[in-house]
Amino acid sequence: MSLNKHNHESDIDNANLIEKNKPYSQRDISQAMQEATRMLDIINTPEDKLTQTDRNWVSANVADNFAHHVNKGFLQYRKSVTETSDFALTDWWGQGSILRDIQGREYIDMLGGFGLYTYGIRHPKIVAAAKAQMDRSPQYSQEMLDPLRGQLARVIAHLTPGDLQYGFFANSGTEAVDGAMKLAKLYTGRRGFISTTGGFHGKSLGALSLLGKSVYREPVMPLLGGVRHVPYGDADAVEQLLRIADSVGSMDVAAVVVEPVQGEAGAVVPPDDYWPRLREICTKYDVLLIADEVQTGFGRTGKIFGVDHWNVAPDIICFGKALGGGVVPMSGFFSNAKVWSVMEPNPFMHTTTTGGNPLACAAALAAIQVMLEEDLPKQAEEKGAYLIEKINRLVEKYPNILKQVRGKGLLLALVFHDSDVGYQVVSGLFKRHVLTAGTLNNASVVRIEPALNIPYELLDEMLVRLEATLEEVASQLNTSSTT
């Protein structure tokens, strides 16, 4: 309500507010209890004992609940609603790279939760570690020293490039990026950042300031001041901005923030000299280099971290998604001791109640163990190369539909000639029970990001279904393939 509103109008507003405010005695408290209990009974029933009535109740309600209590806008975009004739496809059960909806329909998961399921769904070792920790203490007292957090930070320090040794844990990728930005500001005393067009760093207000897409930024302007965007992959553009700022005495850049390979933009791989040059330029101008590895970290691109492809050590590294092993939300940012020293005089400068909780740390330790035991970075590299080779044959066979396959490791993207064709392929795959992402709005680039331990048989099965889909789309478009 506006403060300088006329008194009479304020009285009317107050009356409306009182009328709308459901009195405590009239709230549907018994209904809340009954509905919570119904869902809990279902959750607590073993999968093979669930009745068809229970299953129908869940899938009959999901779209309605989204429409009335989450966001009905989602329903227009989810193929699980738009492309499903009876019950909406309802997220329910998963193992490895197979997802099964509550009605028992099985899908090959080629989306991998956009990097969340790097180690597959419900990896037994990660689940076991989380369960064991759950039975001991899932959260911290907030006063005693927490051993799992310390141990996880130590383990990660062994894996990070350079001397990134100190870290802070949070729950989501966007929090990790926000924390990294704060650290860079504290260390340099400057307020500005350079990031890239098409870059994705999260949607909280700090990370959103770096994000390189107007659709998410413009409606909530102003964001953080002093952020400039340059084309991804263009080290000269970064250098030019820094050179000018330096030469006119207005250096206000705390850090350059970049994804090693752009994920959300569609598996965009930069030129090979990009990261080494960014390192050189940032060192020259005394600006921090932040690698946003939220999507690329922990094996996804074929190395433990994306920057490892170019042997570059950033000053700060952010990660998330895969770190919680696909079981518990987990993220973090790490830096070297010199940069971190600004956090030490007042360690409460950056805190969170739940970040780095024992449950998440147990899952993360198990996820790292699994990554190393199964050599998942190597699996990503080999399976990525395998898919690129096979899909390139499809590019040759269906040149009017599929333009290109690109990416690194198992962060790949199919590039279509336009959004309509891309959408037809994605929905054709969906009908053939292969899950990928691509909305009507933007389906010209579709990410393929499966679990790194996905069996070759499933990759082959996906390729068969992809080819069948391309064949169908080709005949619908009345385009003749070149064979």
Ligand X SMILES: Cc1ncc(COP(=O)(O)O)c(C=O)c1O
Q: Interaction with ligand X in 272-301: which residues (CB under 6 A)?
A: 292, 294-295
Question: Which one of the spans 10-18, 259-267, 365-373, 412-420 is the region binding ligand X (CB under 6 A)?
Answer: 259-267
Site for ligand X in 111-140 (CB under 6 A): 114
Instruction: Report the residue number, 101 or 292, with the smaller CB distance to ligand X.
Output: 292
Which of 87, 92, 187, 200 contacts ligand X by CB under 6 A? 200
String of DSSP letters for 47-89: GGG--HHHHHHHHHHHHHHIIIIIITHHHHH-HHHHT-SSSPP
Tokens of 267: 């598996």
- Transcribe 288-302 into DSSP letters: EEEEE-TTTTTTTTS
264 binds ligand X (CB under 6 A): yes
Is 173 a binding residue for ligand X by CB under 6 A? The answer is yes
List the one residue from 192, 320, 358, 422 that touches ligand X (CB under 6 A): 320
Task: Give the DSSP per-residue string, 377-443.
Answer: HHHHHHHHHHHHHHHHHHHHH-TTTEEEEEEETTEEEEEESSHHHHHHHHHHHHHTTEE----SSS-
Could you give the string, one character per residue 63-92, with x where binding to ligand X holds by CB under 6 A and - elsewhere?
------------------------------
DSSP character string of 151-216: HHHHHHHHHSSTT--EEEEESSHHHHHHHHHHHHHHHH---EEEEETT----SSHHHHHH---HHH
Which of 202, 325, 407, 438 touches ligand X (CB under 6 A)? 202
Give me the least distance between CB of 70 and ligand X, in Å please: 17
By CB under 6 A, is residue 259 in contact with ligand X?
Answer: yes
How long a stretch of residues is the chain? 483
Considering beta carbons, is residue 116 or 401 the nearer one to ligand X?
116
Kindly state the smallest distance separating residue 432's Cβ from ligand X, in Å.
Answer: 26
SS3 at position 218: helix
| Residue from 55, 182, 185, 201 in contact with ligand X (CB under 6 A) | 201
* H/E run at residue 125: helix 124-134
Choices 91-99, 170-178, 221-229, 376-384; region in contact with ligand X by CB under 6 A: 170-178
- Residue facing ligand X at closest CB distance: 173
Instruction: Give, in order, the Cα–Cα distances in Å from 187 to each of 92, 163, 183.
Output: 45, 17, 6
- Residue 263 engages ligand X in binding (rule: CB under 6 A): yes
- Contacts with ligand X by CB under 6 A: the residue count is 15
Interaction of residue 177 with ligand X, rule CB under 6 A: yes
Strands 106-109 and 434-435 turn out to be: parallel
Query: Is residue 324 a contact residue for ligand X (CB under 6 A)?
Result: no
Q: Which residues form the interface with ligand X (CB under 6 A)?
A: 114, 172-174, 177, 200-202, 259, 263-264, 292, 294-295, 320
